[in-house]
A and B are shown apart, each in its own frame.
Chain A
Amino acid sequence: MAAAVLLLLLLTAAGPGPGQADAGRERRGALREELLLSPLPTGDVAATFQFRTRWDADLQRGAVSHYRLFPKALGRLVAALGVRELHLALTQGFWRTRYWGQPPLQAPAGAELWVWFQPTVTDVDKAWKELSNILSGIFCASLNFIDSTNTVIPTASFKPLGLANGTDHHLLRYAVLPREVVCTENLTPWKKLLPCGSKAGLAVLLKAERLFHSSYHSQAVHIRPICRDASCLAMSWELRQTLTVVFDFFSSGQGKKDWSLFKMFSRTLTDTCPLASQSKVYVDISPKNKEKELLEVSPPPTSVHEAIVQGDRRTYAVYDLLSPSLFNTSRSLNVQLKWKRPQDSSEMPIPTLHAQRYVGGYGLQTGEICTLIYNTHPYRAFPVILLETVPWYLRLYVHTLTIITKGKENKPSYIHYQPAQDRSRPHLLEMLIQLPANSVTKITIQFERALLKWTEYPPDPNHGFYVGSSVLSALVPSVTAMKDMDVEQSPLFTSLFPSSDGSSYFVRLYTEPLLVNLPTPDFSMPYNVICLTCTVVAVCYGSFYNLLTRTFHVEEPSRGGLAKRLANVIRKFRGVPPL
Chain B
Amino acid sequence: MHPELPVGAHLVPAAPRPGAPHVPVRERHGLHHGGRGLRPGGAGAGAGPGLRGAQEESGLVRGTNVFGVLRAPRAASTEALLLLVPCSEGSKNNQAVGLLLALAGYCRGQVYWAKDLIFLVTEHDLLGTQAWLEAYHDVNLTDIQSGGIPGRAGAIQAALALELSSDVVTSVDVAVEGLNGQLPNLDLLNLFHSFCLKSGLLCTFQGKLPPPEGPSGPAYAQSLRTLGLMVLGQAGGGPGGAHGLFLRFRIEALTLRGINSFRQHKFDLGVLGRTLEGMFRKLNNLLERLHQSYFLYLLPSLSRFVSIGSYVPSLALLLLVLALRALDLWMRLSRGEEGEGETPPGEARGSLLWLVPPILVSWGAGTALYLLPVRGQAVATQHFPVGEAEAVVLALIGIYVAGMALPHSTHRALSGGGQRGWMSLKLVALLALALLLSCLALLNFSLGFLLGATLVPPAAAVRPGGNRLPLAVLLVLTTPGLSLFLAVLLERELLEAPAGLGEAWQRFLGALGQGLLQEHLHGAHLSPLLCLGAYPCWLLLWNVLFWK
Contact = CB atoms under 8 A, between A and B. Distances in A.
B304 interface: no
Contacts of A455: none
Question: In the complex, which range does the number of interface residues on chain B fall in?
Answer: 20 to 34
B19 A250 contact: yes
A214 interface: yes
Contacts of A257: 18-19
Contact of A93 (B23, B76, B79, B287): B76
Contact of A463 (B138, B250, B287): B287
A345 B77 CA distance: 23
B292 interface: yes
B139 A94 contact: no
A212 interface: yes
Contacts of A461: 288
Contacts of B78: 464, 466, 512-515
A33 interface: no
Contacts of A178: 76
A251 B110 contact: yes
Contacts of A216: 73-74
B137 interface: yes
A464 B289 contact: yes
B291 interface: yes
A463 B73 contact: no
B18 A462 contact: no
A186 to B, nearest CB: 13
Interface in B61-97: 71, 73-79
Contact of B152 (A93, A99, A356, A460): A356
Interface string A362-393: 11100010100000000000000000000000
A462 B291 contact: yes
A86 interface: no
Contacts of B291: 462
Given A96-B71, A217-B74, A361-B137, A460 B287 contact: yes
Contacts of B20: 42, 250
Interface string B133-172: 0000111000000000001101100000000000000000
A124 B288 CA distance: 38
Interface in A235-266: 248-252, 255, 257
B248 interface: yes
A345 B288 contact: no
A213 interface: yes
B73 A255 contact: no
A209 to B, nearest CB: 13
Interface in B83-136: 108-111
Quick one: which of B73, B76, B79 has the most chain A CB within 10 A?
B76
Interface in A79-95: 92-94
- The SS class assigned to the A binding surface is loop
A251 B108 contact: yes
| Size band of the interface chain A makes with B | 35 or more
B249 interface: yes
A360 B21 CA distance: 25
Q: Chain B interface secondary structure, helix, strand, loop or mixed? A: loop
Nearest to B150: A356
A370 B20 CA distance: 27
Interface in A103-126: 109-110
Contact of A99 (B18, B23, B75, B79): B23
A44 interface: yes
B243 to A, nearest CB: 16
A360 B152 contact: no
A213 B73 CA distance: 9
B75 A345 contact: no
Contact of B155 (A251, A342, A515): A515
B17 interface: yes
Nearest to A510: B76
B546 to A, nearest CB: 44
A517 interface: yes
A343 interface: yes
A94 B287 contact: no
Contacts of A364: 250
A182 B440 CA distance: 48
Nearest to A246: B73
A213 B111 contact: yes
B152 A517 contact: no
B136 to A, nearest CB: 8
Contacts of A463: 287-289
B73 A250 contact: no
Given A362-B248, A362-B250, A514-B78, A214 B21 contact: no
Contacts of A212: 74
Contact of A250 (B75, B108, B154): B108
A130 B93 CA distance: 61
Nearest to A522: B291
Contacts of B110: 251
A42 B288 contact: no
A462 B75 CA distance: 18
B144 to A, nearest CB: 15
B76 A512 contact: yes
Contact of A362 (B19, B137, B151): B137
B138 A368 contact: yes
Given A255-B17, A464-B289, A517 B250 contact: yes
Nearest to B288: A462
A431 B62 CA distance: 38
A42 B249 CA distance: 32
Nearest to B111: A251
26 contacts: A43-B19, A44-B19, A44-B21, A92-B74, A93-B75, A178-B76, A212-B74, A214-B74, A216-B73, A250-B19, A250-B108, A255-B17, A257-B18, A344-B18, A345-B19, A356-B151, A360-B137, A361-B138, A362-B250, A363-B250, A368-B138, A460-B287, A512-B77, A514-B154, A515-B154, A517-B155
Interface of B: 17-21, 23, 71, 73-79, 108-111, 137-139, 151-152, 154-155, 248-250, 287-289, 291-292
A-B interface, 7 closest residue pairs, ranked by CB to CB distance from nearest: A43-B19, A360-B138, A109-B76, A462-B288, A345-B18, A515-B78, A94-B76
Interface of A: 42-44, 92-94, 96, 98-99, 109-110, 178, 212-217, 248-252, 255, 257, 342-345, 356, 358-364, 368, 370, 460-464, 466, 512-517, 524
Given A42-B19, A250-B21, 11 more contacts: A44-B21, A99-B21, A216-B74, A248-B21, A250-B108, A343-B18, A360-B138, A361-B137, A370-B138, A464-B289, A517-B155
